[in-house]
Structure 1
């Protein structure tokens, strides 16, 4: 696997230089698919675009181009491409699923509903259908900057906020979560509107059911966000990540997506700015920062390029919720980075229950041009199917201990990550 990956990357410029325009459509598609699988999204996009130029009705090229536009958050382009793909093959479900994701990101829930019904996602469809006369994520003061101080920063950031005018509740912050999560034991008391459940995959590949729901309001500081879709999960088991406090819920990426979001580990606060905020002005006051592009698959799989030890560049999932660790990875990355594992094993807790893990240290771990040495890491909790289930290779999960010395900003409008000290 390692030898094949290295050869493919080194041969790529030759393939593009000498064969790109000469190849017929039928041979360009496998090249584009391979580029996509290895995370070379811009190169894959160029090849798919060439195919569409020669064959405007090519379903595979339209679908794959739509995927790339979606993960790049170019939602108008994604809608156009996926609509064309869906109209070409109305019986296929993948284009409908991806188009529903486009509308979900745009908070156009009513447009997503018929697509979800058509592919059998009835529970999710019913939840979004309940927003028919409501504006999702209706922010009381959209120009206000929200600053939430952490109650504690380690093992994971913990904050207080209110649900449906409740007393202050304890919420963890975790980009590895999608929608806001509410403790299922408190759902009735908090007045959460509940739908059915489905099964998700958590650390170690463990499965667990989570229920769909929505809440009337979420109060963060002086700002109220109305009409918020949520998931229900038994969150009390995460008390160790909250320093022993009872966990009432989790803030995930979908809420962060509605803002220019900064997790400031240094100052111990979450800053939610309006999406149109002037980042350049902010970073002119900072002497040291790095930026890097990212892509987002599904509703929270944020990936960007990094390296571990002397490995080739790999796409890493930015999941800040692995308490106590900076990096988790699959067996292929253990081999690629020449990591030696001990016989020692530990036990941790993930969303699906107890997880067995083998700890190790990365000699060097990097994200873009940001490097950290001797990062405490683990083998075992990385979900096995995550490595390829997004359609491209994910070589690891980069988490809390790596980001701890930084302020981490997620700019979903420009699809850039900023790290500053």
Structure 2
């Protein structure tokens, strides 16, 4: 969130990032006092302390309401914390004060998209030069996206034998397909062959970055419906890419459910029972997590959602060193992946030159490591195998939080993981006998 006159919004897919290049705006001067407080606030953001960053930005906004940078920072922090009303007020104030500010405008477009205000988001994206995404969203007209019909709770058993949560879905009322539930993805993704089979018309092209920062291309589109048992979700924006890779032998899925879809539910991934629960979410933020059952240990941590849709949570490694990582249920082979920067900070050296790993975004080279202890949500894992992996700079630095890597399904396999977007919390539960 540094002092920049240009910005790139990243819509992250599963191992992929959809890049939207935004126009440059003119920088405006700040007072020395504003720079001092804003520098402190940005430093708190860089350290992952969003509450303190918001306090400093709010203080500066009250003292100098004409300084748009403080409103923009306050809006960015509120967006990551899931406080949509405050985020909208702050970002609109930033635009009134500063005028043409592409960073504030792009964050507001992200917010309006999350709120389902696709027409407003499309109008703003056109001003910013994001024609492809604007065309996709404008194609919904006045129809509400992610409209749910049927029971408010869905229970689905996983298919296949792998660690990834994969469930059966009826696509467009035409064909059943297996979909990966991937918290490391930003939106709904369809395999190219599936899109061709159901004759999904494209609404534009997108430039993508995959695992290991490899570039690729995809198509944007609109899907009429997805059906899960007796519940149907209608009017869904999708991205079409080639998901099938020869190296992923024994693994089969033709689509991905990412965070844009999942945020409309309280999501429970029960790894021991291999079961998915989707319960209709309320945006009131007043809900309470269910009490733990007898004989079950449970704990929760705060959740932050980056503009690109990454689910960020805190964890500890190496003598209680704190890291922010994103939760990636699409990563089956990996319990924990650290960026090279985070590994250097922790003084970790790889045990070999590197092995090949396969993600949805493609294959990449990563170096295995062994961590003496990892702590997450009150639970400890000892002698945990992980990897040092390449991360695109837009993920490691450009998402507004200092991301050190990700936790994958390999770590979650003993837990029932509940992601509550209305409360912005992640809850882990495990029977006592498993501790």
**What TM-score, normalized by structure 2, do the two folds share?**
0.86
- How big is the shift at 1:285? 5.5
Q: For residues 340 and 26 of structure 1, what CA distance do their matches in structure 2 show?
A: 38
Q: Which residue of 1 aligns with 2:385?
A: 376
- Which deviates the most, 198-207 or 48-57? 198-207
Does residue 1:387 correspond to 2:416, yes or no? no
Q: Is the 8 A contact 2:269 2:418 kept in 1?
A: yes
Which residue of 1 is the match for residue 213 of structure 2?
205
| Equivalent in the alignment of 2:202 | 194
SS state of the match for residue 336, structure 1? helix
8 A contact 1:260–1:409 mirrored in 2: yes
Across the two proteins, how many residue pairs are aligned to each other? 396
Which structure: greater strand fraction? 2
Aligned partner of 2:157 among 149, 154, 157: 149
Instruction: State yes or no: 1:75 paired with 2:45.
Output: no
Shift of 1:244: 1.3
Matched, 1:218 2:226: yes
Question: Is contact 2:377–2:428 with CA below 8 Å preserved after alignment?
Answer: no
Q: Are the structure 2 counterparts of residues 239 and 191 from structure 1 closer, same or farther at C-alpha, using a change threshold of 3 Å?
A: farther
- 8 Å contact kept, 1:290–1:420: yes
2:22 is matched with none
Note closer, same or farther for the CA distance 1:115–1:28 as it changes in structure 2 (3 Å cut). Answer: same
After superposition, the C-alpha distances for 1:89-132 in whole angstroms (9 at most, x for unaligned) are 22221111011111111111111111111101111010100111
- Runs of at least 5 residues in structure 2 that lack an aligned partner in the other structure: 1-31, 431-435
Residue in 1 that maps onto 2:280: 274
* Greater RCO, CA 8 A, separation 6+: 2
> Which is worse superposed, 256-265 or 188-197?
188-197
Task: Choose which of 95, 101, 107 in structure 1 pairs with 2:104.
Answer: 95
Look up the SS of the partner of 1:288 in the other structure.
Answer: strand
Alignment-derived partner of residue 140 in structure 1: 149
Q: Distance in 1 between matches of 2:394 and 2:342?
A: 14
Superposition CA RMSD, Å? 2.0
Change over 3 Å in CA distance of 1:295–1:313 after alignment to 2: same
Cα distance, 1:271 vs structure 2? 0.4
Indicate if the aligned counterparts of 1:303 and 1:316 stay in contact, CA closer than 8 A: yes
CA deviation string 1:279-330 (max 9, x = no partner): 4445355731011111101242111111122252111111122221111111
* Residue number in structure 1 paired with 2:193: 185
2:329 equivalent among 320, 337, 342: 320
Cα distance change, pair 26–384 in 1 and its aligned pair in 2 (3 A)? closer
User: Within 2, Cα distance between the matches of 1:73 and 1:231?
Assistant: 24
**Is 1:336–2:345 an aligned residue pair?**
yes
1:376–1:401 Cα contact (<8 Å) kept: no
Matched position secondary structure for 2:175: coil
Which position in structure 2 is the counterpart of 1:400? 409
Report the secondary structure of 1:165's partner residue.
Answer: coil
